[in-house]
Amino acid sequence: MANWKNGIRVNTTKAYDTPASERLAASPELIAQLIAAGNAFAVRTDSFAAGKAETCGDIANKLKRFGSFASDKQREFALKLIEWSKPRERQTAPAFQQVFPKLHTVLQQLADLRLPGELKLSRKNQDTLVWVMFAEVCVGKLEDGGRLTLFRGRIGDATLAVTSSLQAAEQDPLEAAKQYGRMSGRCGVCGRDLTDPESIAAGIGPVCASRMS
């Protein structure tokens, strides 16, 4: 006795009680699925799909002619072809929002702020929008109370470096700017060279320091 399962006739009795041709028989539905799989592969341009449309068509034609698979391996391969042809669901990372309210607030008082990790935050034309610069390239922006948006096409592999530096600076933005100044010898706000010993030790020039008080 035989039943159909996944388009294939499945023997429910002992294997030697049923002829091989019957055990490997394919239903019209399975043949149709193979043809559809071939059509799906035909419009794909990736290397994995190369040649698979022709293979699906060849197996489907033989099934139409002979009514069954030539072997168990051919049957298994046909089922894999059908599965491979199906569009895969894209896996996306869990949605989360990074917000840096302290940094955004400080930049409402300043035009620029320089931070460790080759970061510079800049606000132009009295706008509340803050641009995030990394290694002199604009890679993102802070808006709406510090909500971070990164420009994926520009940031490349530096996402972790940028977000880590922003997270560290968010704890104390002004201290982070001073740390940049002490390490670089340039003011953590305007970026000018520091020459006065007290300013060098502070990491920020006197004019910028007065604006931050």
The tens-digit pLDDT sequence of the chain (213 residues) is: 455 555 555 555 444 355 555 668 888 999 999 999 999 999 888 888 899 999 999 999 999 998 899 888 999 999 999 999 988 654 444 445 699 999 999 999 888 999 998 999 999 877 899 999 998 899 999 998 899 999 988 888 888 899 999 999 999 999 999 999 999 999 999 999 999 899 999 999 888 888 766
Relative to beta strand 119-123, strand 137-143 is: unpaired
**Which pLDDT score is estimated for 51?**
92
Q: Which structure tokens are listed for 155? A: 């940031």
**Which pLDDT score is estimated for 97?**
64
CA 150 to chain centre: 12
Please, which contacts does 56-61 make with residues 24 or more away whose CB atoms are closer than 8 Å?
56/81, 56/85, 59/34, 60/31, 60/34, 60/35
**Which pLDDT score is estimated for 95?**
41
**Which pLDDT score is estimated for 153?**
82
**Which pLDDT score is estimated for 109?**
87
Q: Which residue has the tokens 């670089």?
A: 184
Is residue 24 within 8 Å of residue 72, measured between CB atoms?
A: yes
**Which pLDDT score is estimated for 19?**
59
Indicate the SS3 state at residue 62. Answer: helix
Neighbours of 151 (CB within 10 A): 12
Is residue 139 within 8 Å of residue 155, measured between CB atoms?
A: yes
**Which pLDDT score is estimated for 157?**
84
Q: Which structure tokens are listed for 195? A: 């020459």
pTM, two decimals, is: 0.54
**Which pLDDT score is estimated for 189?**
92
**Which pLDDT score is estimated for 126?**
76
For 52-194, strand residue ranges (E) read: 112-115, 119-123, 130-134, 137-143, 147-150
- What's the half-sphere exposure (Cβ side, CA atoms, 13 Å) at 200? 6
CA 108 to chain centre: 32
**Which pLDDT score is estimated for 213?**
60
* Helices vs strands, H then E, count in the chain: 10, 7
Query: Angle 103-157-122 (CA atoms, 0-180°, nearest 5)?
Result: 30
Indicate the SS3 state at residue 176. Answer: helix
